[in-house]
């Protein structure tokens, strides 16, 4: 996710926290520790226990919140305007400080509760705008059902004393590919085609030839890993078309086994894998039997 959208999220989060904090503060503002009847309040007043009082004036009544001398606890009571005048005199006579203000807590609560959906909606719209501007939604604008095509190519030198493995099948031949793994040229090109179609780099990204874990590794393992990555991205293999180029040996008779091995590694039906063989007509290194190469095109579709 891009930085602007993270910033927008953070701002929205803190706005929500501050908003909730203000709302809670206003709800609890001037709330006494204990609410008592008026008669009990008078007793406290007569006993000279009130050190400070705050009167909140509303339309029809006055809410009194008083702080007690001994304990600093606050008590609250409601009085009518009829007795309020006399009460102020008694408070002052008792040496208590008196503050008078308008009752606003209710107004604030109503305002905040009504404004909450609007504030959240505006915040959410700003958040969406940031996301669209930052391009974070770009992937969802692509057609999820679109076909993806990848191309893969590989070449290995052939040397005596190496085992020839093509498409996961060992073939009887006097030469084999030089490579860090088993040198399966078809599996490597196929792996690159799949990763390319999925936009996941290439085989070297996932299985570097400097890693001792892949020394003489069975290349079908690379295909199994590629299949897992495709699955995680909701991509399925639609079709694989491959050409293996080598002068010798004849590959056609081994294709059924290769298709079986590859289809098992990729978890797809064998009829989705199409293999072809070519020679290089005696031309260049492949033609002289010094190398083997493969080209693969893979087609993927969203599941
Ligand atoms: Mg290779």
pLDDT at res. 216 = 85
The pLDDT value given to residue 104? 64
pLDDT score of 141:
47
pLDDT at position 3, please? 46
Backbone angles phi, psi at 300, to 5 degrees: -120, 155
CA 125 – ligand 1 centroid, Å: 51
- pLDDT score at 28: 59
User: If you measure from the C-alpha of residue 162 to the centroid of ligand 1, how many angstroms do you get, rounded to a whole number?
Assistant: 14
Report CA(27)–ligand 1 centroid distance (Å): 70
Please give the structure tokens belonging to residue 17. 């926290």
Q: How far is the CA of 141 from the centre of ligand 1 (A)?
A: 36
Q: In this predicted structure, what is the pLDDT of residue 108? A: 63
CB–CB of 51/69 below 8 Å? yes
Spacing, Cα 177 to ligand 1 middle (Å): 9
- The CA 282 to ligand 1 mean position distance, Å, reads 22
d(CA 94, CA 42): 11
Centroid of ligand 1 to alpha carbon of 186 (angstroms): 8
User: CA 161, 164, 168, 172 torsion: positive or negative?
Assistant: negative
Residue 51's CB is within 10 A of a number of other CB atoms, namely 15
Cα(156) to ligand 1 centroid in Å equals 6
- Per DSSP (E only), the strands in 161-218 are 164-166, 169-171, 175-177
Question: What is the mean pLDDT for each group of 10 consecutive residues in the chain (303 residues)?
Answer: 59 78 67 87 86 87 88 89 85 85 67 74 78 61 74 97 96 95 96 96 90 89 95 94 97 97 97 97 96 98 88
Q: How far apart are CA 156 and CA 173, in angstroms?
A: 15
Measured CA to CA, the distance from residue 200 to residue 151 in angstroms comes to 12
Q: What is the DSSP letter of 267?
A: T
CA distance 260 to 177: 22
pLDDT at 236: 95
């Amino acid at each position: 996710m891009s930085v602007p959208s993270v910033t927008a999220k953070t701002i929205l989060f803190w706005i929500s926290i501050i908003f909730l904090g203000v709302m809670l503060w206003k709800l609890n503002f001037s709330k006494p520790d204990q609410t008592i009847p008026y008669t009990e309040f008078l007793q406290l007043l007569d006993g000279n226990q009130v050190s400070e009082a705050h009167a909140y004036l509303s339309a029809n009544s006055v809410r009194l919140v008083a702080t007690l001398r001994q304990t600093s606890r606050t008590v609250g009571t409601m009085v009518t305007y009829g007795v309020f005048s006399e009460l102020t005199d008694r408070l002052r006579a008792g040496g208590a400080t008196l503050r008078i203000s308008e009752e606003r807590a209710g107004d604030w609560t109503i305002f905040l509760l009504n404004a909450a959906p609007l504030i959240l909606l505006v915040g959410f719209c700003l958040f969406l705008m940031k996301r669209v501007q930052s391009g974070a939604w770009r992937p969802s604008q692509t057609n999820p059902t679109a076909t993806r095509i990848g191309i893969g190519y590989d070449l290995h030198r052939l040397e005596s004393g190496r085992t020839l493995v093509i498409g996961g099948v060992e073939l009887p031949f006097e030469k084999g590919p030089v490579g860090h793994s088993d040198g399966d040229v078809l599996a490597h090109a196929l792996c690159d085609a799949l990763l390319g179609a999925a936009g996941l780099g290439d085989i070297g990204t996932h299985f570097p030839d400097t890693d001792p874990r892949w020394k003489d590794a069975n290349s079908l393992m690379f295909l199994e890993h590629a299949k897992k990555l495709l699955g995680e991205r909701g991509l399925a293999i639609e079709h694989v078309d491959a050409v293996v180029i080598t002068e010798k040996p004849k590959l056609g008779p081994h294709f059924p086994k290769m298709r079986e091995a590859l289809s098992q590694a990729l978890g797809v039906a064998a009829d989705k894998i199409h293999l072809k063989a070519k020679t290089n007509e005696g031309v260049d290194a492949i033609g002289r039997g010094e190398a083997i190469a493969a080209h693969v095109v893979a087609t993927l579709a969203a599941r």
